[in-house]
Structure 1
C-alpha cells in the first residue's frame, strides 16, 4: 500500500484538486499544504453544500484527518482565523487537529498594499496577480527579512522586526506609489489578537511529518495553483511566486524525496487560466461562453471569469515530465456533455516559421498557434456516473486518447462537483 501521495495541478490551476484531495482524504491520516497562500481557492461540495478553502488543507472536512500548513506556505493570519471560524460555523472543528509551521512566513497588510500598487502602476503590462500580497511576502522570505509564524511567540522581538520592515515598505509606498503609510503598532496588535487564536497550533511541522512517515501514517500533500504557474517551470513572468511543481513538496515541508510513493496530476478535460499570460488554446467564441457557464469558471478567490480553451496536450506532457507523474485524474468531464465535438491540442505551429512542435519552450508560446485533433462528443449525461463502464463510448474514447497522448494512465475521473461524483479506475493508495 502506498503511504504518501502528492496531488498537484498540471495546468494553470483551478483543475479541481480540492475535490480530489477531499475525496481521497477519507483514507489518510494527514493532509499537508506545502506552498502558496490564500490566493489559491479550493472549492468542495459535500452533500450539496459548498465549502471554499484558501489556506486550511482540504482534507480536514474528514474528522479523522490532521491538517498541516507547512513552511512553504505564506500565511495571512486574518484570513486563516476567518477560515477557521467559517469551518466552525459549518460544524467542522479543526483547532485541535490543525498544525501551522513555525517557519511559515506571514503576509501582512503592507504586502497587499504594495502588490496592488505595483499592478496598478504596470497598467496593461500587469501580471494579473490576485492582489493578496503573495509575491511581496515571498520576496521578503528570500530577502531574509520576513516575519515568520514563530516570531509571534516573542512580542518584544516581533515588535522590533515589524517596525523595521514597516519602515522599509512605507518608504516605497509613500515615495514611489504615493500611497498611505502603515502604523506598525496597529499591525502588531492585530497580529497578537490572531496569535491568541492559533497559538496552540504553532508547531515544528517538519518534525511532525517525519515522525508520521516513520510511523507509517498515510499522508496526502496538497498542491495549490498549477504546474504552468510554477515560478521556475511555468509561463514566466506570468506565474505565481512559489514552486507549484513537485520540488515544492520537498522544500515546502522538509521531507525527503524518497518518502513520496505516488504523484497524481489533476487535469481538467479543457484548459483555463486566470490573469495575464500566453494561452495557446484560448477561445473567444460561443464555446468559451459555454465552458464558462457550464463549468462555473469563475475564480473561487477573486470571482474573476477564467479564460477558457481546449485541452493543451503539449503543456500537459510538459507537466507529466517535470513532475514525474504517476497517473492523471481528469476532472469536469460532465461539462462536455452537451457538445457535439471536442478538441485536443496535440502540437503547436510557429506563426512566423510554420514549423511544427510537439513540445515547446514557454518563452515562445506567444508565437504558437494550436494544432487540434477533433473528437466526437457524446451528447449524453455523464454527471454523477461512478463506474467507467457506464460512460458513453465517445467519452471513454476521449479519455483513452488523453491517456495515450499524455503517456501515463488515468486513474481517476471526476464526473461532477460533489465528492462522490467520482470514478476510481485505480485507487492511488493501492
Structure 2
C-alpha cells in the first residue's frame, strides 16, 4: 500500500496528484477526515472539488474506499454524489465506492454545534470549516456516536433522533439564536441516510487486506495535511483526525509492514487557512499578490489562504514523522517571474538559539531566510525535466539535500497532465 499525504497545512495539490497516478492502482482509499476536505481536480478544462469521495473516482476499474478513520455526513455525501454525476455522467458511483461500516456519522446538529462554539466567547476560536467534523470525532471518542453500519438496524431512526433532539436542546439552552427547525434538519438527514444505503457498506479493513494479499495495489489518500494532525500538528489550530502516514494504517486497518512508497506533497511556498502560528507569513502586498496569482482560496470554503515563504523546519518535521520517500512539489510555476525566492532555513529564538526542525513552531521565533535566484519561464509548455531553468534545478537540489529525499515530481500548472516526473523510480 502506498500513501499520498500533504506535508504543510493542506491545499498542496493532493487531489491532482492522486488523480494522475491512480490509474496505476486497483483501489484508492480515504483514511481520515470528512466533508471538511477539499481536493480540487481539473478534467477537460473544468474543475470539481471532492470532499469525501476518493480522488481516484474518475479512473475506470478503480475501486474507491471511504475508510473507517473517516466521518460520513450523509447530507453532504448525497450532495457530492449528485454534483459528481452532473460533472461526469459516465461515472456510476454506486458501483465503485465502498464505505466502511465502522466509519462514524456526522449529524446535522454537529454542524450547528461547530458554529455555536466558533461564535461563543467561552470557546477557543480556531477557524474551522464548520462542517461538524470536530463534533463527530468528539462523540466518537465519548462513545456517543452512530456508525455507518448502524443505519441498517431497525431502531436506527429512533437512536439517531434521540441524538438530534439532545443536541438541539443543548443548542437552545446554550442560547444559539438562529436555529433551523429540528424537523427540517431531521428529515433531510434521514432522506440522505436512505440514499447512503444504496452504496456498498462493508468491513473495508477485510476488503483492503484481502486485495493486498491478492497482489492488488492500494493507494491511501489523506485529507488535510501533516501540520494539521491532531497529535503532531500546530495544536489547537489543527483538524480532528490523524493526517499522517501512521493514520493511514489505523484509519484503513492495514499493518505498517504493508506500506510501500509514501508520497509527500508540498508547495514551493506555504499557505494555511484559519488561525494558527505561521512563521513565514507574508503580511504585505506581495503576500496578497501571491494569493491572487496562485488562486489561494479554500477549495472547500472559498476562504482566502494566508501566504508565506517555504518553511523548511516544518517541512523537515513533516518528512520525518511520516517517513516520506518521495516529494511532490507544486506551485513552483506560481513563483515564476520573481528575481529571487526565499526559503526559511531555521528559526532564531529570543534567547539566541536556533531551531532547524520543529513541529512546535515558535510564536516569537524569527524566520531566517535563505534567498535564491528566481526564475522566469513558461512552465505550462514544459514536457521534459531538461527544459527546467537552472534556477529551478538549484532550488530542487537544495530541497533534496536538506530533506534527504528526492523531489520525484514537479507540478507545472493546475491541469491533470501538468506534472513532470523527475526520477525514473
Q: TM-score, normalised by structure 2?
A: 0.95
Determine the structure 2 residue equivalent to 1:369.
366
Contact 1:110 / 1:182 at 8 angstroms: preserved in 2? no
Question: The residue matched to 2:29 in structure 1 has which SS?
Answer: strand
CA drift at 1:170:
2.7
CA drift at 1:175:
1.8
Give CA deviations for 1:298-324 in whole Å, capped at 9, x if unaligned. 001110000000000000000011001
Determine the structure 2 residue equivalent to 1:195.
193
CA drift at 1:246:
1.2
Q: TM-score, normalised by structure 1?
A: 0.94
Determine the structure 1 residue equivalent to 2:18.
21
Determine the structure 1 residue equivalent to 2:313.
314
Determine the structure 2 residue equivalent to 1:242.
241
Give CA deviations for 1:77-102 in whole Å, capped at 9, x if unaligned. 11111111112112232210101111
Q: Distance in 1 between matches of 2:368 and 2:356?
A: 10
Superposed counterparts of 1:86-105, under 5 Å: 86-90=83-87, 91=89, 92-105=91-104
Determine the structure 1 residue equivalent to 2:421.
424
Determine the structure 2 residue equivalent to 1:177.
175
CA drift at 1:183:
7.1
Match of 2:412 among 396, 410, 415: 415
Match of 2:163 among 157, 161, 165: 165
Question: The residue matched to 1:426 in structure 2 has which SS?
Answer: coil
Question: The residue matched to 1:195 in structure 2 has which SS?
Answer: helix
Q: Distance in 2 between matches of 1:373 and 1:124?
A: 39
Task: Check 1:26–1:279 CA distance in 2 against 1; reply closer, same or farther (3 A cut).
Answer: same
Q: Distance in 2 between matches of 1:225 and 1:235?
A: 13
Determine the structure 1 residue equivalent to 2:397.
400
Contact 2:233 / 2:359 at 8 angstroms: preserved in 1? no
CA drift at 1:361:
5.1
Q: Distance in 2 between matches of 1:254 and 1:268?
A: 30
Question: The residue matched to 1:139 in structure 2 has which SS?
Answer: helix
Question: The residue matched to 1:417 in structure 2 has which SS?
Answer: coil
Contact 1:174 / 1:180 at 8 angstroms: preserved in 2? no
Determine the structure 2 residue equivalent to 1:383.
380
Match of 1:46 among 43, 50, 67: 43
Q: Distance in 1 between matches of 2:202 and 2:182?
A: 26
Where does structure 1 lack aligned partners over 5 or more consecutive residues? none
Question: The residue matched to 2:283 in structure 1 has which SS?
Answer: coil
The answer to whether residue 358 in structure 2 is matched with residue 360 in structure 1 is yes
Q: Distance in 2 between matches of 1:250 and 1:381?
A: 40
Task: Check 1:358–1:236 CA distance in 2 against 1; reply closer, same or farther (3 A cut).
Answer: same
Q: How many residues align?
A: 422
Superposed counterparts of 1:136-285, under 5 Å: 136-156=135-155, 158-179=156-177, 187=185, 189-199=187-197, 200-285=199-284
CA-based RMSD of the aligned residues comes to 1.8
